[in-house]
Amino acid sequence: MIYQPSSRVSYKLLFGRAFRNPSAYELFSDDAGFSTAANPALRPEKANTFEFDINRKLGRRLNASVSAYHYSMNDLIVGMYTPAGLFQFQNAERVSATGAEVEINGHPLRWLELATGLSQQRAVNLAHNFPLANSPGPVAKLRFAVPLFSSRFSLAGATQYRGTRQTPDGATLPSVWLSDVTISSNRLPSNLEFQAGVRNIANRKSLAGPKSSGASGARPDPAKIKTTNYTVYGGTDLSIAQWIISGAQLDSHASGQVYDWFQARSRDIFNSATGDTATVLHAISSYTIAALSSGGQTTLQRTAQTSVIFNPYFVQSRLNSLSDSPCGNPRTKYFTNSHLHEGRHAYQGSQAAISGNDADLDWMVKTVSISPTNILVDSTAARTVCNVEGGYTTETRSYHGDTVFDTFSSPDYVGHATEQDAEVFATNHDH
């Protein structure tokens, strides 16, 4: 519906309804129950759109428009896994988007074409009540074009600001400015056309997060690695390729196939460590990487140095941020904390290796040189320890002294003391 009270202003109220039928592949993809299952009951995707526009001329050279809109989409078709473990397309998602946009365009000068606009939207995945992935809130844009060489060529440029947005795995990508420039001509001899341009002049790039997180971790697909490469979400830039194993030994502690980004960050942690932190980290002889259920893993050994395993596939590790408190120990920097935590476990082994410090060989010792100094002391004194099996909750335990062997698991749970000792040290030093 359009209402135009004068030649300078118009009002539009628009409603649309659209649908997309499922494809034959989505309906009937099936490999006899090996990995995929057909779903002939798939329904069409449906969308309803509402929009209100105001358009007005600003003098002879400029036009302005204001728009408000609301979109709702239902029965979006997504690939999911059934309880039987088969991949199947299902009607599983509902999305809504509400926003507004203001734009001014025209020729403020006879030789200058200009357009600028600002929009703000909120897009939500209603099925999970979560912001829609890769959908920024504010977006601002500026475009211009000017003639060159008696209008035989045209020079055009554009700058766009994109606000913060969510990734599919829940991390937040930072805001970014993107700028392009293009020179073109369609007035060359022999009906030739010419165009050359530079996209993303400032070379702004964003991090490719792990394709799957945690114990099932895997690096991103190669195509994503090539297109989203550098900035670490809301953190700092790494001036090296991401998710690449170049073979360069960036960190002397790295052993085997370790991603360049992981080596670079680990190297910085080891090199910047001082005092007690440096002493504890020195207990790590080397590290490898693997998909684990946690950020790292260390097998205690009675040696001055021990090899550890780290997991690079948690988004929190890439962000080096976290907000949780296992056994009452608040963690804020996940990547740093994991190194300190596993370093402390390696250090525990070095303390047990000191002659006479662990007479009954149960990993509880007479003295610990670096704080906390009381958690691993082999005595009957009560202390707070970390019950890993109980969901990282605290409990109070005492042990039998250095002449009686305490079991690592049930019934004495020395492992709860070693875990709390590592948690406390890492928490006190991960800033």
253-311 pLDDT, tens per residue? 999 999 988 998 899 999 999 999 999 999 999 999 999 989 999 999 999 999 999 99
Does one domain contain both 194 and 250? no
Does one domain contain both 152 and 235? no
- Alpha-carbon span 119 to 62, nearest angstrom: 19
Give the Cβ contact number of residue 78 at 10 Å: 11
Q: Is residue 219 part of a domain?
A: no
Assign 366 a pLDDT band (cuts: 50, 70, 90). Answer: very high
Judged against a pLDDT cut of 60, whether residue 431 lies above it is answered with: yes
Does one domain contain both 184 and 236? no
Does one domain contain both 107 and 133? yes
Last residue of a domain, one of 210, 245, 266: 210
Q: Is residue 84 part of a domain?
A: yes
Does one domain contain both 297 and 248? yes
Domain total of the chain: 2
* Model-wide pTM > 0.85: no
Q: How far is CA 137 from CA 70, 104, 134, 163, 324, in A?
A: 14, 20, 10, 6, 28
pLDDT tens sequence across 198-210: 887 776 565 677 8
Last residue of a domain, one of 150, 179, 210: 210
* Residue 351 CA from chain centroid, whole number: 37
Q: How far is CA 101 from CA 53, 69, 315, 365, 416, in A?
A: 9, 9, 33, 67, 57
* Helix/strand/coil percent split, the chain, to 5: 20, 40, 45
363 CB-side CA count, 13 A: 22
Token pair 């998602």 in the structure block, residue: 93
Does one domain contain both 174 and 232? no
- Alpha-carbon span 160 to 374, nearest angstrom: 57
Q: Is residue 217 part of a domain?
A: no
Q: What are phi and psi of 357, to 5 degrees?
A: -85, -20
Assign 168 a pLDDT band (cuts: 50, 70, 90). Answer: low
Does one domain contain both 329 and 203? no
Does one domain contain both 297 and 204? no
- Alpha-carbon span 409 to 389, nearest angstrom: 10
Last residue of a domain, one of 183, 210, 237: 210
Mean pLDDT of all residues belonging to the chain: 89
Token pair 């057909």 in the structure block, residue: 38
Q: Is residue 221 part of a domain?
A: no
279/188: higher pLDDT: 279
Does one domain contain both 179 and 249? no
What's the average model confidence in pLDDT over 314-325? 83
Q: Is residue 218 part of a domain?
A: no
Question: Whole domain around residue 72: which residue ranges?
Answer: 2-210
Judged against a pLDDT cut of 80, whether residue 167 lies above it is answered with: no
What's the average model confidence in pLDDT over 72-76? 91
pLDDT tens sequence across 209-268: 788 888 888 888 776 676 665 555 545 555 566 788 888 888 999 999 999 889 988 999
373/32: higher pLDDT: 373
Does one domain contain both 201 and 256? no
Does one domain contain both 168 and 87? yes
